[in-house]
Amino acid sequence: MARAKKAAAKSPSKNATNGNDSPVVEASAIEDGKILDYITGKPVAENDKERVRQRIARALFHEYGINVDDMEPDFKVKIEDSGKTSNKKIDIAIFEPGSEHTPENVRRLVVCQKELKIGDKGAYKMRDHDQAAKDLDLLKEAMAACENCKYGLWTNGLEFFFFQVKRTKFDVKFIPIGDWPLADDSIGTRDVASHAKLRRADPEMLRTAFRRCHNFIHGNEGMPKDAAFWQFLYLIFAKMHDERQPNDKRRFWAGRFEKDGQLVDEQFDREGQKAIRKRIVPLFEEVKKKYSTVFRGSEEITLSDRALAFMVAELAKYDFGRTDVDAKGAAYQEIVGTNLRGDRGQYFTPRGPIQLMVSMLDPKPNERVLDPACGTGGFLTATLAHLAHKFQAEAGIEPGAESTQELASIQERLGEFVKKNLFGADFDPFLVRATMMNLSMAANEPGNVFYMDSLAFPRGHLAGVEPAKSAIPLGSVDVIMTNPPFGSEIPITDPQLLRDYELARKPGKQEDDFAWGDGYQKAVAPEVLFIQRALDWLKPGGRMGIVLPDGILGNPGDEYIRRWILRHCWVLASIDLPVEVFIVEANVNILTSLLLLKKKPQSVIQAEDLGKRTDYPVFMAVAEKVGFDRRGNTLYKRSPDGEELLEEVEEVERIRTNGHFVERRLRRKKRIVDSDLPYFREGGGLVEGPIAAAYQEFRKKNKEPGT
C-alpha cells in the first residue's frame, strides 16, 4: 500500500502570487460591514446599493476606459424643485478628463439603486424607459442642472437606462440610448462605428448582461426557461460568427439612424427593430449551415422584434474574442446551470473543484484531453483558460494588455487545440449542443463533442459512437477530467453492459490479495463503472481526475473498488471537499472527493502482482473553506481581531483612447476570499489557492510515480 503525505492548506503569505503571477501584498484590514470604494480606495458601508455602484465603477474603468481620477462618488448637484434649491448626492459623477471636479465639468452621471434580485425560478418583467419614468426623475434633474453633462445612466443592477442629453434654447431633452460611448467617443450612426470600439467585457458586467438577456426573454416574452435559454444561445453563436467577418460585413449590431431630424436608437424604434431582425435572421441561417454538427437546421429565432433588438444591443457591445476565457465561462455556466440540469444524476460541477483539478493535472498543449461525461463543458473550457494563461506567461503577456496580434496568436493556438486535442461526450443531446456552444464562445471552435453513452462505448447506437471510435479509441487519451453521474438511484442494470466491466463483478472475500467472486452484480452505480471506463480510455502513464462520492473511498463494502484502483493506478492525490461546494452551486447535498490517478503500464501491474511493489508518496488534503457558506454568502479572510484582510492588486487594461490603444494600470486593495480552492477575486483574476500551491510544492519534492 502506498505511503501517504498530507498537504497542509495554508493561507496566502506576503510573498504569495495570484493566478496571473502579479504580486499580492497583504497590507491592511477593513472593519466588518465595510468595503473599499473602487474610485477613492476609502472604506464605505457594504449594502445592496453599494454593490451595484462598485460594479459600475469597475466597468467604467475596464469597459469604457474612463480614468478613476475623472470620477467622483456622491457628488453634490444643486437641483431646483418648485422654486427651492437643494443639494442631491449623485452616486457617480464623471468629469472632463484632467479637469477640476466642478458641476461645469461634469460630462456623465450615474444613479444607482439597490440590487434587484430574483429567484432561480422567478422572472422579472423588465421595464422600458417610459415604465420606469418615476425612478428616473433624479437622474434627469441632475443632468439638466449640470449644463455640460452629455450622458446619464440609471441602474438597479439588472435594469440599465442610458440617456443622451440634447439641449435647445427652450428645453432639455433626454434621449433613450442603448449604451454609452467609450471614454473618447461620441455616439454617431453605425456608419462611423468600427470593430475597434467593441470592448473587452468586465467579468461581473458580462454575467449581468447574460442574466439581463435571459431574464428579458423569460420575463418579458413569457417563454419557458429552457426555450429562453436556447434562443439566447442561438444569438451567442450568431455573435461569435459575426465577429470573424470583416468590419464591412458585420451584421450583429444595433446602431442609430436619422428620423425626423434626429438620431434614433434602433433598439427603441419599431422600424429599427425590424431592421435588426432583417440583419440577424440571414446571419443565423449562415450559422446553421456552417455549424451543421451543432444545428439540426430546423432551429428558428422566435423572439419578438423588441426582444431580439434588446438582446442584440446588449451583446453587440462586447468583443467576445478579446474577453477572458474565464469570464465567458463563468457567465455561460451561470445561465446554463439553472436551465439544463438533468434527471439522471446530472448536476454541474462547481468552478472551484474544476479549477483545482485542471491546475493539478496541468494538461499540456500537445496532450489529448477528454471528459466522457462533459455536461455543459466546464472541465473543457477550464482547460482552455488554463492553456491561455500558459500561453500568456510564455510570451510575457499580462492578461488585459495583449496586443491584437498577440491575442490572435493565442486564439489560433486555442482553436487548434480544440480541433485536435480536446474531446467531450455525453448521452444528453442538449448538453452536447450546450458544450459545443460553450467551446465556440471560448475558442471559436465547436470542438469534438460526441453524443453517446460513454459506458457502452465502443458499442452503442447513438450518433456520436462511430466518429468517436475514430477520434478517441480506447487507450488513446492523455488526460481525463470528469464528474460522472452519481447514485444508486440510477444504477446500470443491463447484463450485457455489466459484463464489459471488471468492477461489475461480484467482489471476493479474501482480504490480503485482490480476488473476484463468481458472476456479476445485478446493478452497479454509474460512477463505479466510470472509473474503469476512464482508465480504459487512458494511455499507459495517462492521468485522470474524477469527482467521486466519499463512500467509494471509505465504505467497507467498497473496498474491492479501492483495491482495483490501487492495482491499476498510482494515486497522485486525494482531496476531500466540504458539502458547501455542491449545496450552493449544484443544489446537491453530498460529500465528495477529487481523486487524481495515473494509469500503470501492464508491465508494472504484472511486476507488482509478483510482489515487486514500490512505495510512493500520495498528496492528500482537506478543503475546509471554499469561499462561501451554505447560503452562498461570500466569506473573506479575517485578522485575529475579526477585521477582513486586504490585498493590493494591480489591474492592467488596454484602453482605446483618441483613436489608439494605451495601457493603463490601476492598483487597488481588495478583500481576500477565504478559500482553499481556486477562486476568482472581485473584478476577475484567478487565484489558485493553497491546495493547488501545496500540490505544486509537493511535486517539486516528489516526482510522479512512474516517471
**Contacts with 545 (C-beta within 8 Å, 6 or more apart), sequence order:** 357, 360, 361, 480, 481, 482, 594, 595, 596, 597
Q: Max Cα separation, the chain?
A: 98
pLDDT of residue 427: 92
- pLDDT, position 332: 84
In the structure, what pLDDT confidence band is assigned to residue 187 with cuts at 50, 70 and 90?
A: low
Give the homologous superfamily in CATH for domain 325-622: Vaccinia Virus protein VP39 (3.40.50.150)
Question: What per-residue confidence (pLDDT) applies to 186?
Answer: 62
In tens, the pLDDT along 394-406 reads 988 877 677 778 8
Q: Using 50, 70 and 90 to split pLDDT, how confident is the model at 359?
A: very high
Summarised one tens digit per residue, pLDDT across range 592-601 is 999 999 999 9
* Mean pLDDT, rounded, for 550-555: 90
User: What is the C-alpha to C-alpha distance for residues 214 and 314, in angstroms, rounded to an integer?
Assistant: 11
Q: Are 311 and 302 in contact (CB under 8 A)?
A: no
> How does residue 312 score in pLDDT terms, banded at 50, 70 and 90?
very high
Single out the residue of 75, 31, 32 nearest to residue 53, CA to CA.
75
Task: Report how far residue 467's alpha carbon sits from residue 470's, in angstroms, rounded to the nearest whole number.
Answer: 5
Tell me the three cell numbers of residue 520: 456479476
Per residue in 620-652, pLDDT tens? 999 999 998 888 888 999 988 888 888 888 887
Predicted local distance difference test score (pLDDT) of residue 659 = 60
What are the cell numbers at 246? 470583416
Q: What is the pLDDT of residue 378?
A: 92
Question: How far apart, in whole angstroms, are the C-alpha atoms of residue 526 and residue 142?
Answer: 62
What mean pLDDT comes out for the span 317-334? 84
Q: What is the mean pLDDT of residues 324-341?
A: 75
For 574-587, write each residue's pLDDT tens digit: 999 998 888 876 67
The whole-number pLDDT of residue 658 equals 61
Burial of residue 520, with CB atoms counted within 10 A of its CB: 0-12 exposed, 13-18 middle, 19 or more buried: middle
Residue 458, pLDDT above cutoff 70: yes
Q: Taking Cα atoms as reference points, which of 386, 382, 365, 366 lies closest to residue 374?
A: 382
More confident residue, 462 or 188: 462
**Residue 4, pLDDT above cutoff 70:** no
Q: What is the mean pLDDT of residues 198-209?
A: 86
Q: What is the CB-side half-sphere exposure of residue 184 using CA atoms within 13 A?
A: 12
The model's confidence at residue 376, banded by pLDDT at 50, 70 and 90, is confident
Average pLDDT over residues 111-120: 80
Confidence of residue 54 (pLDDT cuts 50, 70, 90): very high
- Which tens digits make up the pLDDT trace of 60-85? 998 888 999 999 999 999 998 777 88
Stretch (H or E) spanning 696: helix 690-701
The 3 state secondary structure assigned to 137-181 is: HHHHHHHHHCCCCCEEEEECCCCEEEEEEEECCCCEEEEEECCCC
Give 257 or 235, the one with higher predicted confidence: 235
Higher pLDDT pick, 611 / 685: 611
- Say whether pLDDT at 121 is over 70: no
At residue 513, what are phi and psi to the nearest 5 degrees? Answer: -120, 150
Mean pLDDT (whole number) for 649-675: 77
What's the confidence (pLDDT) of residue 120? 52
- 3-state per-residue secondary structure call for 441-508: HHHCCCCEEEECCCCCCCCCCCCCHHHHHHHCCCCCEEEEEECCCCCCCCCECCHHHHCCCHHHEEEC
Distances (CA, A) of 541 to 1, 385, 475, 655: 19, 24, 10, 46
Per-domain residue ranges of the chain: 3-32+632-701, 202-317, 325-622
Q: Which residues contact 350 (CB under 8 A, 6 or more apart)?
A: 581, 582, 584, 585, 586
Residue with more model confidence, 118 or 517: 517
Res 363: pLDDT: 98
Q: What is the pTM of this model?
A: 0.86
Percent of residues, the chain, with pLDDT higher than 70: 89
Handedness of CA 138, 140, 145, 148 (dihedral sign): positive
Residue 305 has pLDDT above 80, yes or no: yes
Position with higher pLDDT, 539 vs 19: 539
Give the CA angle between residues 676, 678, 680 to the nearest 5°. Answer: 125
Classify the phi-psi angles of 74: left when phi > 0, otherwise alpha if psi is within -120 to 50, otherwise beta.
Answer: left
Residue 259 has pLDDT above 70, yes or no: yes
Q: Read off the pLDDT of each residue in 645-671 and give the average, rounded to a whole number.
A: 77
At 513 the pLDDT is 58
What cell does 614 get?
A: 514500490
* Higher pLDDT, residue 548 or 257: 548
pLDDT band at 202 (very low <50, low <70, confident <90, very high): confident
Give the pLDDT score at 22: 41
Residue 188 confidence class, pLDDT cut points 50, 70, 90: low
Question: What is the residue-averaged pLDDT of the chain?
Answer: 86
Q: What is the mean pLDDT of residues 339-344?
A: 52
Please check whether residue 43 is in contact with residue 34, taking contact to mean a CB–CB distance below 8 angstroms: yes
Question: What is the pLDDT, as a whole number, of residue 29?
Answer: 87
What's the confidence (pLDDT) of residue 3?
A: 35
Q: Quick one: pLDDT at residue 660?
A: 65
Instruction: Say how far apart CA 279 and CA 254 lie, in whole Å.
Output: 10
Q: 345 by DSSP, 3-state: which?
A: coil
Q: Among 106, 100, 201, which residue's Cα sits nearest to residue 151?
A: 106
pLDDT at residue 135 greater than cutoff 90? yes
